[in-house]
Amino acid sequence: MSSVRRCSRTACGRPAVATLTYVYADSTAVLGPLATYAEPHCYDLCAEHAERLTAPRGWEVVRLAADVSPLRRSSDDLEALANAVREAARPQERPQDRTPRPGRPGDGDPGESGRRGHLRVLRSPDS
């Protein structure tokens, strides 16, 4: 049994017709057709709130659908964009990371002595 998703705005009970996603790295708000599934970190909006959407100063709003009506639901564009954002957010593997040096698993850069998460410990060129 599927239920109608409602607008994410506080105190709004209207049916959702669009999904809003933020791409923080690009300071972009993407508004597209209602996604097939409710996703965390995405906001479903009714037609009124989708039309009135504004972004913070310095941000860009990308509207993937000219008309956000309940009869024209399609999530292909938004899903493709969400997949592209997920792919771009994945850490990129450098070619030298693929071949670990003996005694240092996962250390492919001769100047690196260790790595934890996004932090790296760099050796001095003198050593």
pTM: 0.51
- Determine, yes or no, domain membership for 4: no
Please spell the DSSP secondary structure of 22-64, one letter per residue.
Answer: EEGGGTEEEEEEPPSS--TTEEEE-HHHHHT----TT-EEEES
Is 111 found in the same domain as 79?
no
- Kindly report the CA angle at 19 between 18 and 25, in degrees rounded to 5? 140
Is 112 found in the same domain as 53?
no
In percent, how much of the chain has pLDDT > 70? Answer: 61
- Determine, yes or no, domain membership for 7: no
Radius of gyration over alpha carbons of the chain, in Å?
Answer: 21
> Structurally, how many domains does the chain consist of?
2
Is 111 found in the same domain as 51?
no
If we measure between CA atoms, which residue out of 17, 19, 7, 26 comes closest to residue 79?
Answer: 19
104, with CB counted inside 10 A (0-12, 13-18, 19+), is: middle
Boundaries of domain holding 116: 95-127
31-80 pLDDT, tens per residue?
999 988 888 889 999 999 999 999 999 999 999 865 545 545 556 777 77
